[in-house]
Amino acid sequence: MTTWRAATVASTARLTSTARSIVLDVPGWQGNLAGQHLDLRLTAEDGYQAVRSYSIASVGPGQLVELGVDKVVDGEVSPYLVDEVRAGDQLEIRGPLGGWFVWRPADVGPVQLVAGGSGIVPLAAMIRARRTSSSVAPFRLLYSARTPDDVLFAPELDNAGDVEITFAYTRRAPDGFARKPKRLDRTDLAELTLPPADDLTVFVCGPTGFVEAVADGLVSLGHDPARVKTERFGGA
Amino acid sequence: MAVISRGFGGRRRRAEEDLPPGQYLTEDFPVLSAGPTPVVDTAEWEFVIQTETGARHRWSWDELQALPIEEITKDIHCVTRWSKLETTWRGVSLDTLFEQVETAYDYVLAHSYGGYTTNLPLEDLLDGKAWIAFEYDDSPLAPEHGGPARLLVPHLYFWKSAKWVHGLVMQTDDEPGFWEQNGYHLYGDPWLEQRYS
């Protein structure tokens, strides 16, 4: 059983009006694969505890671990992490966890990433892992966000080198943006993602409804279900 | 030495002493799946128990529906930390299905349409502990929740309740299934918080 480790908040940075990057200093952290998550435990002064899982945005060695947390309005943990926690605060983490929704630099096949909202976090980790490993695996990202202001890691994605990135918006698009704001549909997937191929791996991460729709659409376009890896999240 | 998180605890949920450790209550029904949701037509659906002799005990959808159907009300606990209380299901007890099955093996690997697998001790499927469920909350079980039929083993973490269940293969040993090969606990008792291996 993986044990809990004390972690100190090293720094925080606002990502959007509702999301924040939190960098944790975790002595003894052994690194993680791109796509893995961790359990985070908060303890109140009276001993009350709450635990939630968060995807890890960072990869590689070192004891600094970055999370990207989006606020769930009626949640009890994410509002604390997004609005209250500050450098020097302490919490506990356990991980890294998960061995399925991961990309390894040794994987040479092409990769299609499809993100919905804060589902970008583990996929951003994969883009980072590709860059730091000098992998030349073809990467393409389709990122659906509510508005341009809701894009996490926007500056980094703008400088993602030869990763082909397509944004899609559901609520409001930038001026002059050709595609009207709407949810991703099968036509979008056909036009904006890599076609089915034997060596292609697809990673889809986002809210449950988003992942259901995207995964169903990909299968209907001929993708092998076994090559479509999904990570769904609810709230809290 | 406890680690205290400064300022945390102001928005806590109400106390949940009925829940296994580390769980919180949800009114939703979140989904945990590793891939796309398979589409399974009940006209083609079958459930098969295969034993060490190679015998295959097979039920079609209609044959399953003709067996005694039970109403089940149980709390369910997902490894991703949500719990949902008093969920209601209809399905056929595994006791009924195993009445005709002769086996000396102690373990089971459940197989799903779509390729998912999960391992269980046989004794965790018998004596009123497990069902093949096809209705949830008075409606046919939705595909994203495992419809047309899923295994229902509510006393273990819910990944053991294989969605889109297709059959059981008797095993001599407790061979790990899909999530068990990917970091989850071999058994998965929520009250002992057996989340990860």
Q: What is the pLDDT of residues B35-47, one digit of tens each?
A: 999 999 999 999 9
Q: B12: distance to nearest CA of chain A, Å?
A: 6
B1 pLDDT higher than 80: no
Does residue B182 belong to the interface with chain A, where contact is any CB pair within 8 Å?
A: yes
Q: A157: distance to nearest CA of chain B, Å?
A: 25
Beta strands A139-145 and A164-169 are parallel
Global pTM?
A: 0.92
Tokens of B7: 């300022």
Cβ distance of A43 and B183 shorter than 8 Å: no
- pLDDT at site B33: 86
Does residue B16 belong to the interface with chain A, where contact is any CB pair within 8 Å?
A: no
Measured in whole angstroms, the distance separating CA A51 from the mean position of its chain's CA atoms is 19
Low-confidence ranges of chain A (pLDDT < 50): 1, 235-236
Q: Which stretches does DSSP call E strand in chain A?
A: 5-14, 19-25, 37-43, 49-55, 64-70, 90-97, 111-116, 139-145, 164-169, 201-207, 228-233
Interfacial B residues in 151-180 facing A (CB < 8 Å): 178-179
Cβ distance of B36 and A230 shorter than 8 Å: yes
B12 or B195: whose pLDDT is higher?
A: B195
> Could you say which of B9, B35, B81 has the minimum Cβ distance to residue A226?
B35
Give me the mean pLDDT over the B120-139 stretch.
98
B96 pLDDT higher than 80: yes
Tokens of A71: 């606020």
**A232 interaction partners in chain B (CB closer than 8 Å):** 30-33
- pLDDT at site B18: 79
Cβ distance of B81 and A52 shorter than 8 Å: yes
- Mean pLDDT for all residues in chain B: 94
Contact (Cβ atoms closer than 8 angstroms) between residue B81 and residue A51: yes
Does residue A40 belong to the interface with chain B, where contact is any CB pair within 8 Å?
A: no
Does residue B21 belong to the interface with chain A, where contact is any CB pair within 8 Å?
A: no
B63 pLDDT higher than 70: yes
B132 pLDDT higher than 90: yes
> Could you say which of B8, B36, B144 has the minimum Cβ distance to residue A44?
B8
Q: B65: distance to nearest CA of chain A, Å?
A: 28
Q: A1: distance to nearest CA of chain B, Å?
A: 6
Round to whole Å and give the CA distance between B107 and B92: 20
Does residue A17 belong to the interface with chain B, where contact is any CB pair within 8 Å?
A: no
Contact (Cβ atoms closer than 8 angstroms) between residue A201 and residue A111: yes
Cβ distance of A89 and B5 shorter than 8 Å: yes
B17 pLDDT higher than 80: no
Contact (Cβ atoms closer than 8 angstroms) between residue B69 and residue B97: no
Burial class (CB in 10 A: 0-12, 13-18, 19+), B99: exposed
Round to whole Å and give the CA distance between B36 and A225: 6
A76 — phi, psi (to 5°)?
-115, -20
- pLDDT at site A235: 46
Cβ distance of A230 and B34 shorter than 8 Å: yes
Does residue A216 belong to the interface with chain B, where contact is any CB pair within 8 Å?
A: yes
Cβ distance of A236 and B2 shorter than 8 Å: no
Nearest residue of chain A to residue B2 (CA atoms): A43
Cβ distance of B179 and A100 shorter than 8 Å: yes
B15 pLDDT higher than 70: no
**B16 interaction partners in chain A (CB closer than 8 Å):** none
Angle CA B108–B109–B110, to nearest 5: 110
Give me the mean pLDDT over the B116-131 stretch.
98
CB contacts < 8 A, A to B, total 111
For residue B161, how many C-alpha atoms fall within 13 Å in the half-sphere facing its CB?
29
